[in-house]
Amino acid sequence: MSSPLESVHAAAGSTAATHGAYRWFVVFLGWLALDFTFVDRLAWGTVAVQASDSLGLPLMSLGVFVTAFFCGYVIANALGGLLTDRVGGRVMLASTIFILGLLTFCFSMTTSVAMGMMLQALMGLAAGADIAATVKLVTAWFGVKDRGKAIGFLLTAAPCSVMITNAVVPSLMRAVGWHAVYQILGVCTAAFGLLSYLLVRDSPVREARHQGPRMPIWPLLRNPQFVLLLVAGFGGYWAVWGFAFLVNALMVKQHGLSPVAAGAVVIWFGATSLVSKPIVGFISDAMGGVRKPLMLGIMAAFAVMMIAFSFVEGTFALTVAAAAVGFFSLAWSPLMTATVAESGGRSRVGLATGVANGLWQFAGVWSPAAAGLVFQWTHAYHAPFYLLAAGPIVSTIALVWVKDGLSAEGR
């Protein structure tokens, strides 16, 4: 017979094993939630031409609808982060996903530009809170020294959703039409929202709901370390989105590649950016949660690779260079996201994540336009890459002044 003490140890070990398995299930559910969010967002880019023809709308509505979604998405990041801290990650994730599903279904009934813009803006408002909710859940289930790999896996949702959208939506649209595409996406998204409410728990232990101070954002904005992280993340995304949006056209113009050949080169950029996130997360956790040296090295290498890419000639060399740029382009993001979330302490994980992600979204708006203007003014192929590389260079400088161990729980 086992002693009472042995029984207690056995029960504790069983509970720890259960929590260990379940916390990865939480990460997987968060990953699926972000996939639904991005697929619902990206689907318009695939169906826009058919939708514009069937509704008699001008093709410019493609850009208008994307802008409307973006506006709602940015607003929702900060507000959604605040609400996440108040109601918890589980309720926020489930409710916003469910509402996003309903709005996605309603978008299938769009009959005018005004109606479409309104629904896309509302879809953005619903989708914008998901990143804060998922990151809050991950930080609750994973400790400071082992959450790098979890967030690394979580953030692979964005590149995966691009592949899922392009693999599924075109065939689905051919089979059932664009109206039914949004109806199917809406039903699936709403059903997943209900499922996540039933399956997700906020943390391993029951905690009292934290209401937060009246103006919780100001302590964050007065924290120089948090501001440095905002700058560092913005610089990284400045280069990422500028490269992703412009590199195809630049290669076609400079190297005479066909659009298909240029696309084949950029595929490797996406593939290596996908695998680098969990790899770097595992490395960080294996080093005991160290992040700053890794982020510094990655950002510096990203800047070097960006400039080096502009000097490469030949399709094979361009493919290898694109893969190298892709690996470093987002390898820093899980470490940055974890550090930003921890900088707010347990009470402001959602708010810190939402504010940072909302600001970083603007990098994707401004950098492609700025790099495009530089190329138009100078007619120099290298000039846009120099401008984009300035982002991670600034990030590297900002990270020099960031301290490891910003989290209150870490200290």
Q: Quick check: is 33 in a domain?
A: yes
- Same domain flag for 154 and 222: no
Does the pLDDT at position 404 exceed 80? no
Question: How far apart, in whole angstroms, are the C-alpha atoms of residue 291 and residue 197?
Answer: 32
Does the pLDDT at position 64 exceed 60? yes
- The better pLDDT of the pair 274, 122 is held by 122
Q: Quick check: is 130 in a domain?
A: yes
Average pLDDT score over the chain: 83
List, as one string, the DSSP characters of 296-307: HHHHHHHHHHHH
Does the pLDDT at position 126 exceed 50? yes
Mean pLDDT calculated for residue range 278-303: 92
Please report which confidence band the pLDDT of residue 249 belongs to, taking 50, 70 and 90 as the band edges: confident
Mean pLDDT calculated for residue range 131-136: 89
Output the CA torsion sign for 214, 215, 217, 222. Answer: negative
The residues near 284 (Cβ < 8 Å, ≥ 6 apart) are 148, 149, 290, 291, 294, 334, 335
Closest among 213, 198, 209, 193 to 88, alpha carbons compared: 209
CA atoms within 13 A on the CB side of 6: 3
Mean pLDDT calculated for residue range 306-313: 95
Closest among 81, 84, 76, 132 to 100, alpha carbons compared: 76
Q: How many helices (H) and strands (E) does the chain have?
A: 16, 0
What pLDDT, on the 0 to 100 scale, is given for residue 310? 94
Please report which confidence band the pLDDT of residue 193 belongs to, taking 50, 70 and 90 as the band edges: very high
Does the pLDDT at position 362 exceed 90? no
Helix or strand run (H / E) with residue 25: helix 4-55
What pLDDT, on the 0 to 100 scale, is given for residue 215? 46
- Same domain flag for 133 and 177: yes
- Same domain flag for 307 and 338: yes
How many structural domains is the chain composed of? 2
Question: How far apart, in whole angstroms, are the C-alpha atoms of residue 246 and residue 243?
Answer: 5
Task: Out of 233-247, 311-325, 356-370, pick the least confident.
Answer: 356-370
Distances (CA, A) of 84 to 25, 137, 201, 222, 394: 20, 10, 14, 21, 31
- Same domain flag for 334 and 273: yes
Residue 200 backbone class (left: φ over 0; alpha: ψ -120 to 50; beta: rest): beta
Question: How far apart, in whole angstroms, are the C-alpha atoms of residue 87 and residue 68?
Answer: 27
Q: Is residue 297 within 8 Å of residue 286, measured between CB atoms? A: no
Residue owning tokens 């940015």: 74
Q: Quick check: is 407 in a domain?
A: no
CATH code (residue 100): 1.20.1250.20
- The better pLDDT of the pair 29, 410 is held by 29
Please report which confidence band the pLDDT of residue 279 belongs to, taking 50, 70 and 90 as the band edges: very high
- Same domain flag for 96 and 188: yes
What pLDDT, on the 0 to 100 scale, is given for residue 155? 87
What pLDDT, on the 0 to 100 scale, is given for residue 62? 63
Question: How far apart, in whole angstroms, are the C-alpha atoms of residue 170 and residue 146?
Answer: 39
- Same domain flag for 165 and 64: yes
Output the CA torsion sign for 40, 42, 47, 49. Answer: positive
Host domain of residue 39: 4-199
Q: Quick check: is 212 in a domain?
A: no
Q: Quick check: is 205 in a domain?
A: no
Mean pLDDT calculated for residue range 44-50: 77
What pLDDT, on the 0 to 100 scale, is given for residue 181? 93
- Same domain flag for 277 and 179: no
Question: How far apart, in whole angstroms, are the C-alpha atoms of residue 26 and residue 354?
Answer: 19
- Same domain flag for 161 and 248: no
Q: Quick check: is 339 in a domain?
A: yes
Q: Quick check: is 411 in a domain?
A: no
DSSP state of 406: -
- Same domain flag for 189 and 232: no
- Same domain flag for 86 and 140: yes
Please give the structure tokens belonging to residue 37: 């969010």
Q: Quick check: is 206 in a domain?
A: no
Task: Out of 97-101, 117-121, 404-408, pick the least confident.
Answer: 404-408
- Same domain flag for 169 and 280: no
- Same domain flag for 181 and 239: no
